[in-house]
Chains A and B, each alone.
Chain A
Amino acid sequence: GAVVSQHPSRVICKSGTSVKIECRSLDFQATTMFWYRQFPKQSLMLMATSNEGSKATYEQGVEKDKFLINHASLTLSTLTVTSAHPEDSSFYICSARGTSGETQYFGPGTRLLVL
């Protein structure tokens, strides 16, 4: 149980384009989803927290207009990197938490490379 998927696992795009990453909880309802980015050999950096049906709460320094988050259902959240630039290249990981309100279960991550 508690499986979270992400799609795509890897994406390469040109500078200026937008990229959408999907995060799905496959066997539980995720009342809260989190989006992280991780640079090589560094820890997870929380970008935003989203609760189903409401606007995401962004961490300080994260541009909400650049990283659009939608959590329209209890099993799906999307992160759209708008007008991507090479500095947005990173490993993006989502996690989901169910109604128990404790453990976060992570997706396998999405490697984004912006050329």
Chain B
Amino acid sequence: SQKIEQNSEALNIQEGKTATLTCNYTNYSPAYLQWYRQDPGRGPVFLLLIRENEKEKRKERLKVTFDTTLKQSLFHITASQPADSATYLCALANTNAGKSTFGDGTTLTVKP
């Protein structure tokens, strides 16, 4: 069955360091993958989308990689700040108009 796994439920890092979050999937051939940020009591906010034929995408301090051989996406936040503390969700869609399946999320805490 299809499965999406995000690394450790919680990740704690020191301000200024790079946070790296992992999204692994099995039995899936995603057309694209998305990363979202969710704060407590709020809906997810879209951050980045990367397609199956793209290796890397950047947006300001964010970087996403997508390795379809390893079936893995890495999400990096460089120069992390306490304001980056939130839960980060990855979502996969196996067609361009299909529904997305979400991982359980990783809660990042950046300590000052």
Total chain A interface residues with beta-carbon distance under 8 A: 23
| A101 to B31 CA separation, bound complex (whole angstroms) | 12
Cross-chain contact A93 with B105 (CB below 8 angstroms)? no
**Size class of the contact patch on chain B:** 20 to 34
Cross-chain contact B42 with A104 (CB below 8 angstroms)? no
Cross-chain contact A101 with B43 (CB below 8 angstroms)? no
Contact residues of A between 47 and 81, Cβ < 8 Å to B = 49
With A43-B89, A43-B103, A43-B104 known as contacts, the answer to whether A103 contacts B34 (CB < 8 A) is yes
Query: Which chain A residues lie closer than 8 Å to B104 at the CB level?
Result: 42-43
| A109 to B50 CA separation, bound complex (whole angstroms) | 25
Query: Which chain A residues lie closer than 8 Å to B45 at the CB level?
Result: 106
Chain B interface residues (CB < 8 Å from chain A) = 32, 34, 36, 41-46, 49, 89, 91, 93, 96-97, 99-105
Chain A interface residues (CB < 8 Å from chain B) = 2, 4, 6, 32, 34, 42-44, 46, 49, 91, 93, 95, 101-109, 111
